[in-house]
Amino acid sequence: MVFSSRLLEDAVNEFSRLPGIGKKTALRLVLHLIRQEERNVLQFSDTIARLSREIRFCKRCHNISDADQCNICNNRGRKQQLICVVENLRDVIAIESTQQFNGIYHVLGGIISPLDGIGPEHINIDSLVNRAEKEKTEEIIFALNPNIQGDTTIYYISKKLKPLSVKVTAIARGIAFGGELEYADEMTLARSITNRIAVEHYITAS
């Protein structure tokens, strides 16, 4: 691309460094910003600057936070003895959107994956075990992606939790709502048969 303005070129280059944004999309975004009111553009710019300066992580659950402890941990209406363990912040947002979970979280910040060089020491496992002991946690629910890495991580952490008297569970796996049996992979279908539930629970859960 050839630009008539150096500033325009700089802006397009900056935007195209974002994931999934190519040069053409970047140009569209920049031209959109040029047409906006100065006040709105400066506010956008300021929010981005604040991201780098002010974002912190909750000292308790490692979630993104404005203060030492995040809004979710601070909410005394939530069950403080029920911890949901997730891989990252996006999973927290996904679960919060269901409005079905009233406990608190623990963000691992990754998943055990030896092929990617990520071992137990690279993610927030020690702080989870310490926390469960100190806070007298009653139940830990693992909500990790259903794959080998997720299973490995669950297995590793639950062994570490053995000495504590905490109930350890994992979210159910099975055929997704609206899915079709014939297209489900064998592993999912097999597990959904092994972990079948009584119909009375089936109906109250949906």
Residues near its own copies (CB under 8 A) are 1-8, 10-11, 14, 17-21, 25, 27-34, 36, 38, 41-55, 58, 63-66, 70-72, 89-90, 92-93, 96-97
Tokens of 185: 């992979």
Nearer to its own copies, 38 or 200 (CB): 38
Between 48 and 203, whose beta carbon lies closer to its own copies?
48
Nearer of residues 10 and 133 to its own copies, judged by Cβ: 10
- Per the CB < 8 A criterion, the answer to whether 149 and 111 are in contact is yes
Would you say 39 or 159 has its CB closer to its own copies? 39
Distance, in Å, from the CA atom of 190 to the CA atom of 124, rounded to the nearest integer, reads 32
Minimum separation from the CB atom of position 49 to its own copies (A): 4
**In the bound complex, what is the minimum distance in angstroms from residue 113's beta carbon to its own copies?**
18
Cα distance between residue 118 and residue 153, in whole Å: 11
Q: Write the single-letter amino acid at 53.
A: R
Helix 126-134 × helix 148-161 angle, to 10°: 40
